[in-house]
Amino acid sequence: MKFVPAFALAATALAFSLGAAAQTTTLKIGYATTKESHYGVGSTAFCDEIEKGTSGRYKCQHFPSSALGGEREMIEAVQIGTLDLVNTSTGPVGNFVPEVRIVDIPFLFRDYDHARKVMDGPIGQDLLTKFPSKGIVALGWTENGFRHMTNSKRDIVKPADASGLKMRTMENKVHMEGYRAFGIQPTPMAFPEVFGALQQGTVDGQENPIPVILASKFSQVQKHLSLTGHVYSPALLLLSPKVWSKVSDADKKVFLEAAKKAAVAQRKKVNDDENNGIAQLEKDGMKVIRTVDGNAFRDALKPVYANYAKEFGADNIKKIQDVR
């Protein structure tokens, strides 16, 4: 048996370990809410799947709670390649990919079943193809949820009750146009600033899905919650093209399958929060209006829907409404 000096064995072991380390790519993923939130649950499911599916060649480092800025900043970072992944609501996405704005129309979706069928079907899948030309890779739809209104002033049952309220909104012209029709004063603001603005009274209220209201502890600074369900808010897993260009074809399939698993996990968390969270928010001191005058809100939107029809095409809106 040939003698191998100890230093040679050590050198070989070191080279092997360095090689193994070099084979692992750690991707940075950012999102606006906590790691325990629906965004955290979906992102964790995605990251676990890519690590498993690539035998550890890819793994993630999480940056929850807007640690890397608001959603718009994170999308920009993905676009230029300084951030690898973001799990974001569609709120600011229309500023990058205008075609996506159609899904932000108020009262477009009947319920979760309708919304998920649209996003998973031909309409939603076609929208994902619009991203690469804008320097972003859309791996798949996740979910934020139906948005509801909270405020510190009064119960909201009909649009007149919301009239005059200064409400934080996302930087999304489709949302803002609709909210103005309700008499709301929309005040666009990056998500990391919202809690402080509510606390200080800079704005009277905000609107978000139950999972976000829970995760952000808005019950500490808002008294009234109205289950308006005025907008369905999808979400997206977006990847930097800089990363995608280096991923093998086999691993690309793993990433796309992982995005589907993320959607399942994130939607389940949204369902759980919707089912259990409202009672929790009441326990935390919020007054919850469960039944609002949906017809009055829809009537207030009629003039705005004429504008939406001009912008997106009445046929395209009808195609979404007709999905069963």
Token digits of residue 222: 């808002």
Question: Using 50, 70 and 90 to split pLDDT, how confident is the model at 5?
Answer: low
- Per-residue pLDDT tens digits for 287-309: 999 999 999 999 999 999 999 99
Compute the average pLDDT of residues 236-255.
98
CB of 63 closer than 8 Å to CB of 72? no
Q: State the Cα–Cα distance between residues 301 and 303, nearest whole angstrom.
A: 6
pLDDT at residue 18, as a whole number: 46
Domains belonging to the chain, first-starting first, are: 6-321 (3.40.190.170)
**Residue carrying structure tokens 């793993």:** 254
pLDDT at residue 185, as a whole number: 97
- Per-residue pLDDT tens digits for 265-275: 999 999 999 99
Rounded to a whole number of angstroms, the CA Rg of the chain reads: 22
Question: Using 50, 70 and 90 to split pLDDT, how confident is the model at 171?
Answer: confident
Token digits of residue 253: 């399939």
- Percentage of residues in the chain having pLDDT higher than 70: 93
Token digits of residue 25: 């790519």
Handedness of CA 151, 199, 147, 37 (dihedral sign): negative
pLDDT at residue 3, as a whole number: 52
- Per-residue pLDDT tens digits for 55-100: 999 999 999 999 999 999 999 999 999 999 999 999 999 999 999 9
Question: Any idea what DSSP says for residue 90?
Answer: S
- Per-residue pLDDT tens digits for 188-225: 999 999 999 999 999 999 999 999 999 999 999 999 99
Handedness of CA 43, 46, 52, 58 (dihedral sign): negative
Closest CA to 213 of 148, 155, 276, 159: 148
* pLDDT > 50? residue 16: no
